[in-house]
Structure 1
Amino acid sequence: MRIVIDMQGAQSAGSRNRGIGRYSLSLAKAMARYRGEHEIILALNGAFGDSIAAIRSEFQSLLPSDCFTVWHPAGPSGHADSANDWSRITSEILRETFIARLKPDMVLITSLFEGYGDDTVTSVRTAQEVPTAVILYDLIPFIHHERYLENPLAKRWYENKLEHLRRADLQLAISESSRKESIEYLGTQAAVVINVSTAADSHFYPMVIQPELEMNLRARYGLNQPFVLYTGGIDYRKNTEGLIRAYAALPASLRRNHQLVIACSIQLADQERLQALAKAHGLMPAELILTDFVPEEDLVSLYNLCKAFVFPSWHEGFGLPALEAMACGRAVIGSNCTSIPEVIGCSDALFDPHDDQSITTKLERVLLDEPFRIKLQAHSLRQAAEFSWEKSAKLTLSAIETYHLEKNYSEKAREVPGTRPLLAYVSPLPPERSGIAEYSAELLPELAKYYEIEIILSQKELGPSWIREKFQRRTVKWFRENYSCYDRVIYHFGNSSFHTHMFELLQQVPGTVVLHDFFLSGVLAHEEWTGVKPGSWIEALYASHGYAAVQERLSASTPEEVIWKYPCNHAVLQDAQGIIIHSETSRALARSWYGAEAGSDWECIPLLRQPVSSDKARSDRARADLGLRQDQFVVCSFGLLNAAKLNHRLLTAWLNSELAADKNCILVFVGENAKGKYADSIVRAIEDSQCAGRIRITGWTDIECFKSYLLAADVGVQLRTLSRGETSAAVLDCMNYGVATIVNAHGSMADLPPDGVWMMPDEFSDQQLTEALTTLYQDKNRRLNLGVRAHNIIRTKHDPEACAARYAEAIEKFQDTSRTSVPALVSYIAQMQMSAPGEERLYQAAQAIDRTLSPPLKRPQILLDISALAGFEREGDLNNFTIEAVINCLSMQSMNYRIEPIYFCRNADFNYRYARKFIMKKIAFTENILQDDSISFGCNDIYIGFEELKTINKVDGSLEEMRASGVKIICLNEELNLRVIENIIESEKN
């Protein structure tokens, strides 16, 4: 399982250095140490940046570096008044969304009752349904509300936290007493509350305090007698007043030879009050020592030096100081209330904290009765051994495991809702000359079994009458204005001008994307060339592939080189709720461009094909309609003719085979011949051959003519090179019609079942293609059997009903996971029934969202600080950086990192901004295409500067904030060059 531990209990100022902070840190470390096969991820609040490095250090040997994640609250939220409700709830939604993105099987909140007065943010199911366990320390303010919740703001805040506690799936109590409190006072089901106990840290153990250290400690704290120790805070329930009164009631002779030491932080008013109380009850000043704050190392020594430890509290969630003293082997006496008896584990050591005389009697005995004191010391070590962080961690992990076993949180097939949601279907449709249009026409009736569908069209005409009759048609403009009425949206994206309107539409209205072509560079380049969107291709190149791609675009001899090289699809992949592909080739391409995790959550669904029957009668009619004789042997290649389809290779192989010599053999290219040199060369080769009368290029055909050629063909040949991630529908058409089909193992065609096609190598020879043509020409049985197998494969694997069902499952899955997307988060916040905050709060929230929720496929960055080089507000030695070196580094191709020059801007909202205008002016002689936004940064990014580390750390905290978020800070002592960057990247990989 993946367990996310919310570490704010070890971060907040109120808890970090107290028992809750120690508990949070120690339990988390033990869970990491004994996690077994489980994955542990720590979630850290970026508002407490000063604590992050310390926590990372604590876990350095326990967890990999990528197990630390940082999120940021949306502005000041740690105040109970209603003026901060918007920021608080926004922060709760943002935190839950951040955690939900981590896909945890359980999130463990180490301290839920945090945030009254600081920027700690804890919540359960404010916006996300994530299984949640909460450490339950106690319900003291609820049980004793008349004392602790007199302040209406405190009461409002605490009751809000109680509602979150009630929504938790598990409450992990630190004692049996706390467990029973939840059952009794909150009505929690017993099975939901598990006692996982607690422990003392390993540095609490019996030790011999060296004389010099003892002398030093006694001098610093004024300890000149054997002493009774108390630690644990000054609070009404701690009963320090009762302890002082009880101690003062001891015989004067006993008090003269002992001291009472109260070791904890004490406010001045409390100090004066307690001293006045002691004086009123006859204690001399030296008999009561109030130490104020005691460092941890001193506390361990004081435990070991004390004659006895007393714990008079009348309500504790656990009573950790008593256990710490016992772990040091001291005689411990304490209250007989709440959790303390189960900690001390000895009835003889207990007293009634509400009866001063009871405390006095037990104090007197432990100080005077040496056998009793020795007995308690021996018992302390045995009892303390019953508690350990290993035990607590294993109990916690076991509780989580049991919960998941009983609740069966294993992944299940998602069901489409009983009522059909309204689906906006954005795709070209016939009569547009697009394979995607034809495909959509086949998918629509099957998908309509699961959704009410309205089609969103930019085209003027809609061909098939049945589509016009069955589906409501909407314009793109209408959809922009009314998209909120739809439950789901699906886009069919391809690399042609039929899809130009979809890019901006997807930004405005997220939905599921069917990625028919992995490369979308062609349509984006077309938009730029035609002036529809000037600079849009360069923007897309930069966004998808960084400055290296922009530099190539500007220096390439022909733009086609860059079109073929770069997919330019990052914006679509990032804006989509989810991606459907038709071939694993697209997923492999995504990983090659965007990293090993890219495409991991995509759904691969075969292209559906309506099964057809191709009996001889239909074939004969089709041949007659096409002017082909029944005795002719017909080889067809389907689709637009261009260099990527290798039509010239087929033509050459056919002309070199014995088919060219047989006047009954016909070669037909069923499709439009692309314009240009390649098209002209095909036409000339046909005209120059001796078979010009038996070789046809049909030009564009309507669907009926296309089907007629499929019925008429004996052999289909579909070849590819330079695949752009598309799936060949024409191959599936040939197979569907039972046509024996020759392919080469390139791109998606390599995934075809080898028994359903004649599969040649990707880099096949002319001889191999000639052999394939000749064999299928000569061997009719082999040809027919191959066609039958192909038809059966399409009928099973590409069944329309099955494919549509998988579409519906994928759409619902993506709709569900989209709850953690930025658009969904913003929409949720916008729907809150609260008055809108001011502009400053909105900016703070936007900044927090940017820093917390990384967009999909975001690669780590190398942030080059070129402030002084670019003439911005920053000082430094320019010898290490030159513009030539920076530009040279930008040309580096790296799948692992984006290289981004940045600069320091003192008047900006955040002090560092991307130096896009400066760089574009240097490489493209324009600064009007890209904008200098505030930088986004996060874990795994690298900052490279040129100043002394001690200097850059003083820049308004910007670098420290970056460091707290996991950015690695590097200051070069050598000149920047490509080798330096390569070495840094290589070292990070290792």
Structure 2
Amino acid sequence: MRIVIDMQGLQASNSKRGIGRYILNFVKSFVQQNKDNNIILLCNGMLQESVGAIKDEFFEHVDDISFRVWYSTPGVSYINIENKSKIEIAERIRENYISRLEPDLVILTSLFEGLVDDAVTSINTYEKPVKTAVILYDLIPLIHENIYLENPVVKDWYLKKIVNLKRADFVLSISQSSGKEAVDYLHFDANKVFNISTAASSFFEKHVYSEGDINDWKIKFNITRKYILYTGGIDFRKNIERLIEAYALLSFVQRKDYQLAIVCSITEQDLTRLKKLCKKVGLNHDEVIFTGYISEEDLLIFYNLCEFFVFPSWHEGFGLPILEAMQCGKAVIGGKYSSIPEVINNKQALFDPYDIADICSSMSNLINDNCFREELEKHSSKQCECFSWKQTANLAWAAINNNINSTKLNATAFVESNRTLKKLAYFSPLPPMKSGIAHYSAELLRELTAFYHIDLITISGEEINDPFLHSVCGIQTIEWFKANAETYDRIVYHFGNSSFHWHMFELLRNYPGVVVLHDYFLSGIVAHMDLHLHHTINGWEKELFKSSGWPAVSMRYKSEDTADVIYKYPCNISVLQNSLGVITHSEYSRQLAIKEYGASSLPKWETIPLLRIPAKNFSKADSRKVLGLDSEALIVCSFGLMGPTKLNKELIQAWIDSPLSKDSKCCLVFAGEKPGDRYGTIIDKLINNCKCNIRVTGWLSNEEYSHWLSAADIGVQLRSNSRGESSAAVLDCMNYGLATIVNANGSMAELKRDCVEMLPDSFDNEELVQALSKLYTDPSYRSKISNSAFAELRKYYHPRVCAEKYVSAIEDFYRKPSPQPHHIIHAVTKLLGSNDNDCLSVCESIAKNFVPTPRKKKLFVDISELIQRDAKSGIQRVVREVISSLLTESPSDYNVELVYATNESEGFFNARKYGCKLLNIPANWAEDNPIDYYEGDVFLGLDLQPEIVKSQYKKLKEMQNGGVHISYVVYDLLPVNQPQHFFPGAKEAYNEWFSRITTFDSAICISNTVANELREWVAENEPDNLKHLSIDYFHLGANPAVKPSAHKNNDDLYNAISSLRNKNTFLVVSTIEPRKQHAEILKAFEQLWLDNLDVNLVFVGKEGWMVEGLVNKIKNHPQLNKLFFWFSGIDDNLLAEIYEMSSCLICASTGEGFGLPIIEAAQHNLPVIARDIPVFREVGGDAVYYFSGNSSQIAVAIKEWILLKENHKIPKIENLNWLTWSQSTKQLINAVLKNVQQLNGE
């Protein structure tokens, strides 16, 4: 059972009241008591801030529920009378969204919303009815209309909600009293009203406080003696005025010992009014305490320390404060009307709330009679056990299970109930077109016309030569159809992979209907429309990208033969997305779609067998006579055009190796045309060489084809590389009662095993030889298969049977909510005014609510910094390498979408033109539009752009609330952990960035070291984020080492590099910046040179920040270009040369995110000396020599390393394992998707 729970009660104005607390606790318990039902929590996307909070509340239940967010146009509060049409639009959008979820039940947690905010509630006003239950808290405004509905706008709003409430299928009341109100005032059937009661939070319980805490608390609230407690609001019905007057009637002695504490939020106006009342009835200023709004922690203390609790309300839906006080073990007294008696359940504790003296008497009894108070306290402790959220949830489940009866309309019911036939527009090739689909449609229509009035829609000028179709069906042109499309109840399109269907693509997009998909692959016609018919501009590229992403578009431009692209990518996604439902002739086609797009993403889908008209009643003898065949011969036939995928060559070889080839009475016939290409030549050669009774008929007329079917004894229909089509030839063989050999390829694998002789998909020669031999030697077995096949065709493939299945499928597709937005667009268009902003807002909200089906999920990769500028930094190098890997090898279930944002515009945009540039392919098809995102997509913040995260944070949270998994790559925490090495303000900026990105779903660090540092940072700075944040890591990669090549342009530079080979050369590769410790390294080598150690020092890297003094020293160093070299801005080729010439790499940085130079050194088998810090240990392991300390320790380490080298004892850098960028990217994506799967409970 699928249950949708509308959560707007936790989002709108009631969310901060008792209703909000009720909904939160009820839904949590309801979910906990769920047994194998599909529960969807539905949130209003226009109340965006609360969506994330609700997700956080239910984070621990993610395995039991799913979230959906629907979007409406903003500004729909009822209090503004100008919003009337926008409210209706929003209600239509919401109901449409809910209907497309196809729930068995909707639970509306709070119907009376939307007066002053953008909440939207209605019940079955515009869409097909959906069974709905409403939680009813009370009908107080209706019952006391003169008090609560004086404002005409408020009254109109409330009464409209009452009308909607009456449409509910049943009511879940929070008390017996509120349920009785539904029966008495709304005339609900008492059998449709269920009291599910309520409960209080377990937070409210008996608690012991220290004397010091009590004294501090009393000072805070001016509590000077014992006190009587009231909490619950200042509403008129709460009866606060009579409570104050009743308290004033207590004797002076009693009031001297007891204050009255009124604990609740209170406006200045009410506070002034009530203080005047206190003064009027003779009370001193310290006798009545007005606290105003307090925290739940303080309220718990008020409950626990009060002498007793009084609740003077004269009308409640339940009276939750009563139960909260009871759970704290307190005596409770209250009014005797509405729900209060059922909560208190003790007549002695009730008073008349309209009688001040009676209220006073009840309070006096508790003050004077300790035994009575203790008796009520015992009663409270027992009575509160009668209420629990588990019980409330179980009562709700019981009510639901008693009221859900699923019904489904079958084909017979449709036929019997529709005496007036519906009008159907039928798009298909038709005779005399030379298309198998044309012949199929002509046969189907002979039966389908019994169920519909059918118009055949044709291209102007096309003729139909079938007399039956002319007599029974209407024939209209496409132009006529477009002008009269609204007159049709149903539309059906037959799609195949040929030029007969080119006109249907645009028609389907504008006039959605049921699609009969005869060929799963539509790539041939899509490419043909673009390249030859020129009906689309770059339509093929766009369709390739839409369905299969960057690898498909890249292959389209880089493949030597476009046929390879057509063969690999089906290009059917637009047809599937624009359909109301899909009919195929085999389950295999659906499995292909599942493999391509995922099972959960498929449109509505039905499989209907490929119909076959019962075979013509030719006698075998007559057919053989017509064909000139021996009446005693054993005829084995393979039908259809010959080709490599039909495995004709394999059949010939098996025939040669079988005993049939030795029997002159046996004949193998290929009943079809042989290709005039190389394959045809091979076939000719095989046949001519074997001389064993094999013949090829060539092209056959329909009558000749039927005669061969009638004349044959055995059929052989083999296939490879099925494209999702169904084999008509196999069914024809079965239709004529042939014992047929097939292999389990594509749709043929679905044939029943007793109706054919089934080989494995990939069979060997011996298996085919045995199958032929078995049917040759065992006539009874042949006859058994023949009879089973014949019966199967009559039972399941008969045109009438198939036509009835068509009716069931079509009506089921149309009965269910449309997956296309045309219906809702048509409905709201009439309500829109001339305001362009309103129109745009409505269009945007509708677009967000309609998820294209099917679709591959998107992996959005943010490159906001790289697309603006390529600073050649280490981080941007990582970004370039990762996206290069992703564009050529996308994750199997996702299409990669490069995106960027700016600080000036809201939201993210596609970066497709940049992707084309990176792949070096044409970009004329690419458009950089705002992104469309849907639940299940993934956003990866790959680029480092804290300012973009700041400016787009609201949009990112909106995406996250909408079901997009947000993950950010963290390169390091250096500005936070080592702020002295960065510009002022860097630490604060990074802290701010971390505070934001850790509110998302996951952070993927470039090393385990950084991951540990981030966990520590979050635990210290944003501990609440640890609840939902996953922190993982991956390692960076490196491309295979560049081979040095000869230099022609700069002899001086090349000579300088070549000279490095002459002595021990120590290399430092990194941007020159403080933490890299270039100054300490240089200082160490200055000491080594003073010690007459003949070694070179080489810096490779550009000038960074905060190193002006050091750079000036380098440029003027006396050893520069002698023993000390600095190469800035060199290319990868020169860097490779330097690696080859060097003896050792030095990594002296005090902090890194990873340590990529270590990997690059390993590629060149260059030993490494590195500072002993965790990240270098993680990357280098035992393959690196480590040191600690400053310049003097660096100098010592170099001397020791040289000694170890001379003794062949330095760590072996060749033992270091490293990743390629392709492997690194896969590791990154696996880390991201692992978290996605964990959050989804997979």
TM-score of Structure 1 vs Structure 2, range by shorter chain: over 0.9
AA at the equivalent of 1:448: T
1:864 pairs with one of 852, 861, 865: 861
1:823 positional shift: 2.5
Give yes or no for the alignment of 1:741 onto 2:740. yes
AA at the equivalent of 2:926: L
In 2: Cα distance, 1:308 partner to 1:610 partner: 86
1:849 pairs with one of 846, 852, 855: 846
TM-score, normalization: structure 1?
0.94
Aligned residue for 2:61, secondary structure, equals coil
In 2: Cα distance, 1:206 partner to 1:526 partner: 78
Partner of 1:556: 559
Contact kept, 8 Å, 1:333 with 1:362, in 2: the verdict is yes
TM-score, normalization: structure 2?
0.75
In 1: Cα distance, 2:872 partner to 2:249 partner: 69
Aligned residue for 1:395, secondary structure, equals helix
Contact kept, 8 Å, 1:608 with 1:800, in 2: the verdict is yes
In 1: Cα distance, 2:585 partner to 2:518 partner: 7
In 2: Cα distance, 1:923 partner to 1:65 partner: 43
Partner of 1:640: 641
Partner of 2:42: 43
In 2: Cα distance, 1:162 partner to 1:593 partner: 48
AA at the equivalent of 1:237: R
Partner of 1:813: 812
What CA deviation, in whole Å up to 9, does each residue of 1:480-515 have, x standing for no partner?
Answer: 332211101111111222222222211111111112
Quote the RMSD (CA, aligned, Å): 2.6
In 2: Cα distance, 1:181 partner to 1:97 partner: 31
1:557 positional shift: 2.9
- Assess, with a 3 A threshold, how the Cα gap between structure 1 residues 320 and 476 changes in structure 2: closer, same or farther: same
Partner of 1:381: 381
Partner of 1:941: 937
Give yes or no for the alignment of 1:612 onto 2:615. yes
AA at the equivalent of 1:862: L
- Assess, with a 3 A threshold, how the Cα gap between structure 1 residues 772 and 69 changes in structure 2: closer, same or farther: same
Task: Give the alignment of 1:408-423 within 5 angstroms.
Answer: 408-411=405-408, 413=410, 415-416=413-414, 417-423=418-424
Partner of 1:515: 517
Aligned residue for 2:899, secondary structure, equals strand
In 2: Cα distance, 1:524 partner to 1:916 partner: 21
1:183 positional shift: 0.9
In 1: Cα distance, 2:187 partner to 2:664 partner: 91
In 1: Cα distance, 2:5 partner to 2:812 partner: 26
Partner of 1:969: 966
1:88 positional shift: 2.0
Partner of 1:526: 528
Contact kept, 8 Å, 1:776 with 1:783, in 2: the verdict is yes
What CA deviation, in whole Å up to 9, does each residue of 1:294-325 have, x standing for no partner?
Answer: 11111111111111211111111111111111
Partner of 1:584: 587
In 1: Cα distance, 2:873 partner to 2:20 partner: 41
1:813 positional shift: 0.5
In 2: Cα distance, 1:233 partner to 1:191 partner: 33
AA at the equivalent of 1:290: F
Q: Which moved more, 1:294-303 or 1:962-971?
A: 962-971
What CA deviation, in whole Å up to 9, does each residue of 1:674-698 have, x standing for no partner?
Answer: 5644345445655666479x62242
Q: Which moved more, 1:208-217 or 1:972-981?
A: 972-981
1:209 positional shift: 2.4
In 1: Cα distance, 2:834 partner to 2:173 partner: 38
Aligned residue for 2:403, secondary structure, equals helix
In 2: Cα distance, 1:782 partner to 1:442 partner: 32
- Assess, with a 3 A threshold, how the Cα gap between structure 1 residues 294 and 883 changes in structure 2: closer, same or farther: same
Task: Give the alignment of 1:6-45 within 5 angstroms.
Answer: 6-12=6-12, 14-45=13-44
Q: Which moved more, 1:748-757 or 1:858-867?
A: 858-867
Q: Which moved more, 1:64-73 or 1:537-546?
A: 64-73
In 2: Cα distance, 1:23 partner to 1:303 partner: 19
Contact kept, 8 Å, 2:865 with 2:945, in 1: the verdict is no
AA at the equivalent of 1:234: I
1:48 positional shift: 2.9
Contact kept, 8 Å, 1:636 with 1:670, in 2: the verdict is yes
Task: Give the alignment of 1:215-230 within 5 angstroms.
Answer: 215-230=215-230
Task: Give the alignment of 1:282-321 within 5 angstroms.
Answer: 282-321=282-321
1:476 pairs with one of 472, 475, 478: 478
1:950 positional shift: 9.0
1:34 positional shift: 1.6
In 1: Cα distance, 2:601 partner to 2:295 partner: 49
In 2: Cα distance, 1:484 partner to 1:690 partner: 64
Task: Give the alignment of 1:280-429 within 5 angstroms.
Answer: 280-404=280-404, 408-411=405-408, 413=410, 415-416=413-414, 417-429=418-430
AA at the equivalent of 2:949: I
1:781 positional shift: 4.4
AA at the equivalent of 1:853: F
Contact kept, 8 Å, 1:953 with 1:960, in 2: the verdict is no
Contact kept, 8 Å, 1:873 with 1:905, in 2: the verdict is no
Aligned residue for 2:818, secondary structure, equals helix
1:933 positional shift: 2.9
Task: Give the alignment of 1:710-729 within 5 angstroms.
Answer: 710-729=709-728
Contact kept, 8 Å, 1:715 with 1:741, in 2: the verdict is yes
Contact kept, 8 Å, 1:43 with 1:70, in 2: the verdict is yes
Contact kept, 8 Å, 2:227 with 2:261, in 1: the verdict is yes
Q: Which runs of 5+ in 1 are unaligned?
A: none
AA at the equivalent of 1:94: I
In 1: Cα distance, 2:550 partner to 2:56 partner: 36
Give yes or no for the alignment of 1:894 onto 2:894. no
Aligned residue for 1:135, secondary structure, equals strand
- Assess, with a 3 A threshold, how the Cα gap between structure 1 residues 880 and 122 changes in structure 2: closer, same or farther: farther
In 2: Cα distance, 1:212 partner to 1:10 partner: 37
- Assess, with a 3 A threshold, how the Cα gap between structure 1 residues 32 and 723 changes in structure 2: closer, same or farther: same
Partner of 2:909: 913
Partner of 1:433: 434
What CA deviation, in whole Å up to 9, does each residue of 1:101-136 have, x standing for no partner?
Answer: 333221111111011111111221122421111010
Q: Which runs of 5+ in 2 are unaligned?
A: 971-1005, 1007-1035, 1037-1223
AA at the equivalent of 1:838: N
1:983 positional shift: 3.0
1:826 positional shift: 2.1
- Assess, with a 3 A threshold, how the Cα gap between structure 1 residues 115 and 881 changes in structure 2: closer, same or farther: farther
- Assess, with a 3 A threshold, how the Cα gap between structure 1 residues 675 and 553 changes in structure 2: closer, same or farther: farther
1:161 positional shift: 0.7
Contact kept, 8 Å, 1:868 with 1:875, in 2: the verdict is no
1:774 positional shift: 4.6
Aligned residue for 2:386, secondary structure, equals coil
Q: Which moved more, 1:733-742 or 1:666-675?
A: 666-675
AA at the equivalent of 1:960: K
What CA deviation, in whole Å up to 9, does each residue of 1:739-794 have, x standing for no partner?
Answer: 22221111111111122122222122334334444544455444344323221111
Give yes or no for the alignment of 1:54 onto 2:20. no
AA at the equivalent of 2:934: G
Partner of 1:71: 70
Contact kept, 8 Å, 2:353 with 2:359, in 1: the verdict is yes
Contact kept, 8 Å, 2:902 with 2:948, in 1: the verdict is no
Give yes or no for the alignment of 1:452 onto 2:453. yes
1:702 positional shift: 3.8
In 2: Cα distance, 1:68 partner to 1:361 partner: 52
2:836 pairs with one of 835, 839, 842: 839
In 2: Cα distance, 1:852 partner to 1:431 partner: 44
Contact kept, 8 Å, 2:237 with 2:314, in 1: the verdict is yes
Contact kept, 8 Å, 1:171 with 1:192, in 2: the verdict is yes
Give yes or no for the alignment of 1:926 onto 2:922. yes
1:18 positional shift: 1.2
- Assess, with a 3 A threshold, how the Cα gap between structure 1 residues 375 and 784 changes in structure 2: closer, same or farther: closer
Aligned residue for 1:118, secondary structure, equals coil
In 2: Cα distance, 1:600 partner to 1:527 partner: 25
In 2: Cα distance, 1:204 partner to 1:543 partner: 55
In 1: Cα distance, 2:33 partner to 2:662 partner: 77
In 2: Cα distance, 1:182 partner to 1:875 partner: 70
Partner of 1:500: 502
Count of aligned positions: 979
AA at the equivalent of 2:752: P
AA at the equivalent of 2:922: T
1:984 pairs with one of 1232, 1237, 1240: 1232
In 2: Cα distance, 1:248 partner to 1:948 partner: 66
- Assess, with a 3 A threshold, how the Cα gap between structure 1 residues 671 and 537 changes in structure 2: closer, same or farther: farther
In 1: Cα distance, 2:499 partner to 2:747 partner: 23
What CA deviation, in whole Å up to 9, does each residue of 1:794-825 have, x standing for no partner?
Answer: 11121222221111111010001243542333
